[in-house]
Structure 1
């Protein structure tokens, strides 16, 4: 069995154990084993100390690299604002005359005093009937809605028909008949009425 040389850490451990040992009575003390000289590695001049291990994750903070969002406020636009942004599907010159109140509606429907169910049915019958008769421009009067009462403890919706009518005009069965919806000129009711420009019947 070949003896190997002790490593420096093993020699240090042995010295610690030897210092803590006590002499037994009637026994001679064995001389301590001399500490072997630490063997120098070959080509020690060429070897450089290794750098400390690098943390692969690095410093991390949640959302640190995320771009800061631009501050913006999205407010629900009014019915008038949404209609004003709609693309023009009818003839541009005719649309300009329509907005100036130069075109005269060929029929009109007044929804004042009706419930939502009543108004929806009447609107569908009116639009389908107007297209069957070959009309192109009709007027639908909704009213602007009741003014808000500042002393009312319960907030209430106002202008429900004014909001609903443009939505109904885009839905079946009348949506396929409608080419353009626009708020009426002041002489035809202004914000309380809508021009509805109909497609030609095929």
Structure 2
């Protein structure tokens, strides 16, 4: 705070008067800036109201505008049916396939009603292999799921002859094939499979099966 000024003589009045005028002008400028700041703050608070003008609330429910309801998305019925069918057709690891295999050195399989010429022609390579599934490195549960999906998709897309590589088991404990017997049991449980034989040496030999699929009723 500025200390009050005292005039010692008439000669000191002129500087004193000038100082008082400067202080009054400074105070007036501060007041002007304060009022402008308040006006700007009010304008910001009432910006929307000043822009649209006076408004009135709606009087009744009937005067409101309700947007049309959004229809629910269609249910994927076919996908749900397919998934339910897959669960119903889940492959069992306890299935005994030995009684269904032909007793020969390669333990081939043909479904009831299929003649022996089917496996003979399949072994001779009269059907071209159109797709292959390699199960190397998969756990049993992974291999089972992969095989089920592979056979189902191959049949739906109209493939007739595929190869499934299960390995010879040389890297397994005791050097016994872990997947070979399971793959045979899983294939027998798939209604899409008509027959299978051990692959020819050039196609994988004892480490693979050549599978004949039933004709697909529809192509996708």
Q: TM-score, normalised by structure 2?
A: 0.46
TM-score by length of 1: 0.50
